[in-house]
Structure 1
Amino acid sequence: MSHAVSRLRAERLQSSTKPFIARGSKAVRCERCRVVPEYCLCAWRPKVATQAGMLLLMHDVEPLKPTNTGWLIADLVADTFAYRWFRTEVESEILALLSDPQWQPYLVFPGEFVTPERVVTEVAMEEGKRPLFILLDATWTEARKMFRKSPYLESLPVLSLQPEHLSRYRLRRSKRNDHFCTAEVAAMCLELAGEQRAADGLNAYLDVFSQHYLAAKMKREVVLDDLAHERLREFL
């Protein structure tokens, strides 16, 4: 079963003129969960109903990275949409999605970089609409460029998150532990939208994914009866 991020990855691979080479990219991986087969995560995919939607605007090679957590979002949130970001153009499907009357879009970005009149800190829904959270899936440097160079997003309210905890993500290096991975951001958005169970499921899924990925990298056994796996079992 494919989803938006897996389809985007396939399209990105097909359009590549040279192989993508990065840390961990040469390992043989399960096509469904991107983890080394001996540590496969497919049986741990959570099943949670959601009303919110996620629009992932992904920087060039993000869909190809085995550590990308947008994949986890698409595994859990049924209405996840994923598109490559381009500096000079925008895909028509993105514009159609943003104008679809069933959705109320929120661009998720730190409020300190935005004019105050655009910033919101809560999800207030109009009757008959569902929240659509737009996540810039990229490194922090790339995301700032994407934010500045996407004029079609300039009219949207900017949802500025106010996290009360630090990032738990361990698969990529960051100089700051207040920078969150995409799945952590999505979980906070779900919580603001009143979908606490979906938020908890996504956080539990991220923790187990991280454990399996690191165990495969270090060639050590995964403990399947620990607290992280017990939490995720509630959502299977």
Structure 2
Amino acid sequence: MDASGLALPAQPHAVSRLRSARLARSAKPFLARGGPHGERCAGCRLLPSHCLCALRPAVPTRAGMCLLMADIEPLKPSNTGWLIADVVADTFAFGWTRTEVDPALLALLADPQWQAYLVFPGEFVDSARVVTDVLPADAAAGTAGRADKRPLFVLLDGTWPEARKMFRKSPYLDKLAVLSLQSEQLSSYRLRRSQRDAHFCTSEVAALCLALAGDAQAAQVLEAYLDVFTNHYLQAKNQLPVDAEDAAHQHLRNLRDL
């Protein structure tokens, strides 16, 4: 911890680096809600009085995450892709544009250690591409998979209209199997609501993917971490203190200690 009592930020992860790159390209400063002074922790993007860094979990996973992020998503303090990168070490993040694609993204999708799945609702996709489980073969491309390949979940991180645009206008994703999640649970995310109640926030989608991949502890930790993050964010927004001994915090600590 530093002299202020805050936990020192960890090494910048993929979403943090993408945020820094996006800020460097900005012609004017991005002003998050809460005031013009930018008094936010570099490690968790929350107000220093509600810093979450001391509770940051890290769980070994077989699966990896690839976030394709709409233009200003990395800048939003409420973005939950950041939480995924906190928990899952093999998280990759790329900014999305219609006219350009990062060569590093194409290299990642072609890396033979990964079996990539594009996560998107199956109702909007040709049924021939859709899978509902993490399979040893890529059903969309029709190529034989290997049992030693690790699942890589490609998540479109943005509003629902942005995600649909990213899906339609990214031809380099067309060969990927589309993983359609079948969970019946409704989203409990309280920071930014979708117009469709059954839509999950990005962190919730990642937790469901981790569970499908057999990374059960990581899935539970990410869900608990989202609950605590949401609590800290809303308490800060309402200028209320955090109860670090409440059920959500204790649940996260118990999962981290397993």
Question: Which TM-score bucket, shorter chain as reference?
Answer: over 0.9
Alignment equivalent of 2:222, drawn from 188, 194, 202 = 202
Q: How does 1:1-236 map to 2 (within 5 A)?
A: 1-24=11-34, 26=36, 27-125=38-136, 126-234=146-254, 235=256
- How many angstroms apart in 2 are the aligned matches of 1:37 and 1:90? 36
1:28–1:150 distance in 2 versus 1, CA, 3 Å? same
Tell whether the 8 Å contact from 1:24 to 1:66 is kept in structure 2 after alignment.
no
- How many angstroms apart in 1 are the aligned matches of 2:155 and 2:193? 20
Aligned-residue offset at 1:189: 0.2
Q: Percent identity, please.
A: 65
Tell whether the 8 Å contact from 1:25 to 1:65 is kept in structure 2 after alignment.
no
Tell whether the 8 Å contact from 1:131 to 1:193 is kept in structure 2 after alignment.
yes
- How many angstroms apart in 2 are the aligned matches of 1:118 and 1:142? 21
Instruction: Give the TM-score, by structure 1 length.
Output: 0.97
Aligned-residue offset at 1:25: 6.6
Task: Give the structure, 1 or 2, with the largest relative contact order (CA under 8 Å, sep 6 or more).
Answer: 1
- How many angstroms apart in 2 are the aligned matches of 1:31 and 1:172? 22
For the pair shown, the structure with the greater C-alpha radius of gyration is 2
- How many angstroms apart in 1 are the aligned matches of 2:29 and 2:35? 10
Secondary structure of the residue aligned to 1:188 is: helix
**Count of matched residue pairs:** 236
Secondary structure of the residue aligned to 2:74 is: helix
> Which stretches in structure 1 are left out of the alignment for 5+ residues?
none
Aligned-residue offset at 1:128: 1.4
- How many angstroms apart in 1 are the aligned matches of 2:220 and 2:177? 25
Instruction: Give the TM-score, by structure 2 length.
Output: 0.89
Residue type of the partner of 2:213? Answer: A
> Which stretches in structure 2 are left out of the alignment for 5+ residues?
1-10, 137-145
